[in-house]
Amino acid sequence: MTRAFVFPGQGSQAVGMGVDLADAFATARDVFQEVDEALKQNLFKLMREGPESELVLTENAQPALMAVSMAVVRIIEKDGAKPLAGLASQVAGHSLGEYSALAAAGSLQLADAARLLKLRGQSMQKAVPVGVGAMAALLGIELEPAQEACAEAAQGEIVAVANDNGGGQVVVSGHKAAVERAIEAAKAKGAKRGMMLPVSAPFHCPLMQPAADAMQAALEAVALGTPRIPLVANVLASEITEPGNIRRRLVEQVTGLVRWRESVQYMKSQGVEMLVECGSGKVLSGLVKRIDKEMTGVALNAPADIETFLKTA
């Protein structure tokens, strides 16, 4: 079976994330310690104990999610003695998960990925004052009508599609009032419902340009190698391997549309039959069937999941 390994984005964090992996595997403990040392922060204590109000802060949630994803990958490679390159034809990640994917594929060092995501989280939070921006999920609508709703709702402000997640789920982002108008405009175009999301900043829209500028400077200062497995990039929905191109796409991704539905369809076109989600939660593996009924998704976030997967891989 041809597989792609995929890595979750923000929203999958929860207090207790990674704890069962750390309890079961020294490999996971080593990953969490390396991330703590890179950040000069006791992030794993926060992951283990909370408080949730601190863990959900973008600058903490992003490196924490990457750390759990990388713990899963390292357990598979080290304890399971199965190199990722022999298991997956491609890697992809949803938003911050793209950094996890690059670390898993050997393009980014773990410590660099942790520091970049900390900065990414801080920069995204600083880009727009709290309360000015917002995001909303539109359900029962596809990409094009959602884009039309955003165009109608802008009225001199910014609102854009941030994530095309597939299965009729589209997320919009921008100025709060414009996002609220977009919900109503989308309902007129057939959306079943729209709901504001509990996020601290309007990700993946032009309001994030200051964060994109910060990430461009940071990425230029970091060593980026050719990934051992091609990356399916969020903003392209196709695969790339050249480090300079990867850098550019990571910068574009801060303000750009996460083309997840098209990314999954691209992987299917390349022969991928199964998406293996590594890390916290089951969001991406749950979306698979809504995008393509012929594909399957499996989530690896607990020791038993990994052990079951290794028996069949």
Compute the distance between CA of residue 145 and CA of residue 142 in angstroms, rounded to an integer: 6
| Helix boundaries (H) for 75-175 | 97-104, 110-127, 143-154
Active site (annotated) includes residue 95: yes
Active site (annotated) includes residue 204: yes
| Helix boundaries (H) for the chain | 19-24, 26-39, 43-49, 52-55, 58-74, 97-104, 110-127, 143-154, 176-188, 209-220, 243-255, 260-269, 283-291, 303-312
Annotated catalytic residue, options 12, 175, 200, 204:
204
- Give the DSSP H or E segment for 172: strand 169-175
Provide DSSP, 265-313.
HHHHHTT--EEEEESSSSHHHHHHHHH-TT-EEEEE-SHHHHHHHHHH-
Annotated catalytic residue, options 95, 107, 200, 285:
95
Compute the distance between CA of residue 305 and CA of residue 307 in angstroms, rounded to an integer: 6
Residues taking part in catalysis:
95, 204
